[in-house]
Amino acid sequence: MIQFSDFEKKTKIVFKDKDLLKQAFIHRSYINENGATGLSHNERLEFLGDAVLELIVTDFLYKKYPKHTEGELTALRSALVNAIIISEIASKIGMNEFLLLSRGETKDTGKARQYILANTYEAYVGAVYLDQGYDVANSFITKSLLPKTEEIVAKKLWRDAKSLVQEKAQEFVNFTPAYKVLSESGPDHDKHFNIGIFFGPDLIAEGKGKSKQEAEQKAAEAALKIKNWLD
């Protein structure tokens, strides 16, 4: 039996509405198997939390980097709030132990779990915002996610991989990269794309994601590594 009071102890955020806390961890698949819980899945909370997260991260970056351009700040924000980084943070604070999933989803610990964790983090932010207010949500994000900023800046992870690979490809091989969908799977609400990056007729690398844009970024990142174009 999952005790959400244990998660409250971890985060030191004690909810007034315990159902709201639980809802943040309920995946759609769990409701399909346990419809009589009286609660709904976390997708509405995720929608809200995504907006709260974006505002808090944007405000932080705007103040921390006064000389950065709008484009640089956008790239930095994208690097901070991407699913891989957020899922790492969610794992680090123990969210994985509290997920309410279907039996099938419980067995899948690969990429799909990464996205579930990232979405749960956002849903939890939305729940904190509703139950505790903006300041507590801000404090939670500041402690859990924003310390990653220094690493992202130091390793230049904020650079847009698609722009960089285009620049390098034109410089070194005189090609403009092209992206093609190699395969797609899943229902409309949960699509997964596998996209290849090509220099002329040659497939250089592949990338997978829940959107074409994300898969293209992953393919571009993979191509940069394969070509050893990351400085």
| Residue 123, pLDDT above cutoff 90 | yes
Residue, of 45 and 34, whose pLDDT is higher: 45
Quote the CA–CA distance of 46 and 185 in Å, as a whole number.
23
Q: Note if 50 is an active site residue.
A: yes
| 145 and 152 Cβ atoms separated by less than 8 Å | no
Which long-range CB contacts under 8 A does 174-180 form with residues at least 24 apart?
Answer: 175/199, 175/200, 177/204, 177/220, 177/223, 179/212, 179/216, 179/219
Domains of the chain: 4-154 (1.10.1520.10), 161-226 (3.30.160.20)
214 Cβ contact list (under 8 Å, min separation 6):
83, 193, 207
216 catalytically annotated:
no
pLDDT, tens digit, for every residue of 82-109? 888 899 999 999 999 999 988 776 666 6
CB-CB contact of 177 with 197 (8 Å): yes
Q: Which residue has the higher pLDDT, 75 or 106?
A: 75
pLDDT in tens, 8-36: 999 999 999 999 999 999 998 888 887 66
Q: Which candidate in 46, 122, 131, 214 is catalytic?
A: 122
Residue 51 exposure: Cα atoms within 13 Å on the Cβ side: 10
In the set 46, 50, 131, 221, the catalytic residue is 50
What average pLDDT is seen over the chain?
89
Residue 158: pLDDT band (50, 70, 90) is low
Which percentage of the chain shows pLDDT scores above 70?
A: 93
Q: What is the mean pLDDT of residues 50-74?
A: 93
Model-level pTM? 0.71
